[in-house]
Amino acid sequence: METSVGRVARISTRMGFRDKLGGCGVRWGIRRMHYNVPAGLYAVGQPTPDSPVLVTANYKLSFDLLRRELSGKDLWLVVLETFGINVWCAAGKGTFGTAELISRVQKVQLDKLVKHRTIILPQLGASGVAAHQVRKTTGFRVKYGPIRAHDLPSFFSNGLKASEEDRRIRFTFRDRLVLTPVELVGAWKPSLVILLVVFAREGLSSQDFSLQVALSRSLTPVVIYLGALLMGSFVTPILLPWIPGRAFSLKGVQIGLLWAFIVSLTLASPWSVGSVIALFLIAPAITAYFAMNFTGCSTFTSLSGVQKEMRIAVPMIILSLLSGVVALVLDTFL
Amino acid sequence: MRSKMGFHYLRNVSTLELDSDKCTLCGMCSSVCVHGVFTLDGSTIQIMDRDACMECGACAMNCPVEAVTVRAGVGCAWAIFRNWFRRSTDSGEGDVQCDCS
């Protein structure tokens, strides 16, 4: 559309098939680091110089979630260059930040486009933006909206006020569920290395290397490993609030022990004492490690907290793994 | 207050501090906080639930008089791993930075 500051692209509030497909893809890590829209100014509906101005990041998943909630609204959208990163993480890195916001507002000539002097930012952008500095430099007052785009309609109908509840971060079952695929995909490369090591060890432990023996003997350790991985990066996150303890690794250990217990009950032939000890040392350590990595996905862990957790958990995990390997080696030779 | 059922991380670790002498009671810290750490009651702002703080830094960033301080960063094990590794290679005491999207 034509405006006082030149042509501005009008965007649809409908989600097409490609948008949904792309959104699904990035949840599985497909093109996740290249999923962005060009930064700049956009129009939603038929905005006028009195229409509200929203600010967001240029991660396409964020952009799509936002525009989907804006149907029937007339407003301006300023998209910051966050290099395809979502609002919260970009705010943490400083790309969704004071400097980018100020320069983008000036670049799109927002002061000529609208008559009012208020811009609405997502609350999660606050860790990157100093509202008082933006006002001092550009004259625009930063108003922090609700955390979730879904709560924007009530924010508007409430006279630009987000309710107490809409300003609190949650971490629902669904929130946790959609984050687990990326964890699993991320674990793929180190897992492949581990699986190859297991395969080589099982293959070489017989007199002459045979592919068939290696494959059949690897099956049990591979299932145990993949189970431990799934327990750490899927089951623990899903059950997070219900598992006792505060440290994520501690939550993971409990699920890992449960996994080792299930494995020990379902063994076809009885194992040697050494192997069972190794199972109970190695599986929980793997689960604890992957559970601990979920801290970065959560909405409530702090840097100081995770550092404290890791100072204890990392040596424990390494010790447990090494003891397990020693038990296995002793078991072979004794 | 709504119970946060199970979503509590380690206690007594947050580096969040509020200097009441500098505070002008503008309420920005409380309005940007996603965990409701601050409470504004009548004539004072207080840190009510320090253990809920995730050190995101929004409050300190938006405090116009620098009354709120916190060592801001990401509570992500992977980022901390990377930082350990980086520090051991270039011996710099860098900020803990994440690399996800």
**What is the domain-level CATH number for residue B57?**
3.30.70.20
Residue A9 has pLDDT above 50, yes or no: yes
CB distance B7–A295 less than 8 Å? no
Query: Which helix (H) or strand (E) is B38 found in, with range?
Result: strand B38-41
Point out the least confidently predicted range of A10-19, A54-63, A112-121: A10-19
Tell me yes or no: is domain A2-167 CATH 3.40.50.11600: yes
Do B11 and B59 lie in one domain? The reply is: yes
Domain coverage including residue B4:
1-70
Q: How confident is the model at residue B3 (pLDDT cuts 50, 70, 90)?
A: very low
Amino acid code (one letter) for A46? Q
CB distance A168–B10 less than 8 Å? no
Instruction: Give per-residue pLDDT as tens, A261-279.
Output: 999 998 877 888 899 999 9
- Whether the full predicted model's pTM is greater than 0.80, yes or no, is yes
Average pLDDT over all residues of chain A: 91
pLDDT of residue B63: 97
Do B44 and B10 lie in one domain? The reply is: yes
Q: On the CB side of A280, how many CA atoms lie within 13 Å of its CA?
A: 9
Q: Which residues of B touch A (CB under 8 A)?
A: 2, 5-11, 13-15, 28, 31-36, 52-58, 61-62, 64, 71-81, 96-98, 100-101
Do B25 and B12 lie in one domain? The reply is: yes
Which residues belong to CATH 3.40.50.11600 in chain A?
Answer: 2-167
Q: On the CB side of B77, how many CA atoms lie within 13 Å of its CA?
A: 21
Do B2 and B17 lie in one domain? The reply is: yes
In angstroms, the separation between the Cα of residue A256 and the nearest Cα of chain B is 19
pLDDT of residue A181: 92
Characterise A80 by phi-psi region: left (phi > 0), alpha (psi -120 to 50), beta (else): beta
Report the alpha-carbon distance of residue A284 to residue A228 in Å, rounded.
7
pLDDT of residue A32: 84
Do B7 and B50 lie in one domain? The reply is: yes
Instruction: Give per-residue pLDDT as tens, A228-249.
Output: 999 999 999 999 999 999 999 9
Domain total for chain B? 2
Do B1 and B44 lie in one domain? The reply is: yes
Do B32 and B19 lie in one domain? The reply is: yes
